[in-house]
Amino acid sequence: KKPEVSGVMAKADIKPKSIHDAKKWSADVENLYRFQQAGYRDEVEYKQVKQVDTVERWPETGFIKKLQRRDNTFNYFDKQRECKDKEVHKVKVYVY
């Protein structure tokens, strides 16, 4: 049985209530960085646009492994951290 949350997210066009810039690096910021590199706000928007329930992640780190861009090409990411300290402030954190 699939979790109900993902089905609801895919159907409803969920919009963030607020937005702020990331202050320091974390695993969440790393994954947001990867979604934003691929042209999406975050996992919620990716799942809505691509109509998928799961995102491929590295089992060791939990970081995003592969994302399909809007033009249907793919972004592949390393197991290790890719978002450098100087890039952290560019990452947008969306609050729902």
pLDDT at 12: 60
For residue 21, give its domain range. 16-93
pLDDT at 5: 45
Q: Is residue 82 part of a domain?
A: yes
What angle, rounded to 10 degrees, do the helices at 4-11 and 43-50 form? 70
Has residue 34 got a pLDDT over 50?
yes
Q: Is residue 7 part of a domain?
A: no
Q: Is 62 left (phi over 0), alpha (psi -120 to 50) or beta?
A: left
Burial class of residue 23, CB neighbours in 10 A (0-12, 13-18, 19+): exposed
| Average pLDDT of the segment spanning 35-62 | 96
Has residue 13 got a pLDDT over 60?
yes
pLDDT at 77: 98
The structural domain count of the chain equals: 1
Task: Please provide residue 59's backbone torsions phi and psi, each rounded to the nearest 5 degrees.
Answer: -65, -35
Least confident of 8-12, 24-28, 46-50: 8-12
Q: Is residue 9 part of a domain?
A: no
Question: In this structure, how many other beta carbons lie within 10 angstroms of the beta carbon of residue 85?
Answer: 9
Q: Is residue 5 part of a domain?
A: no
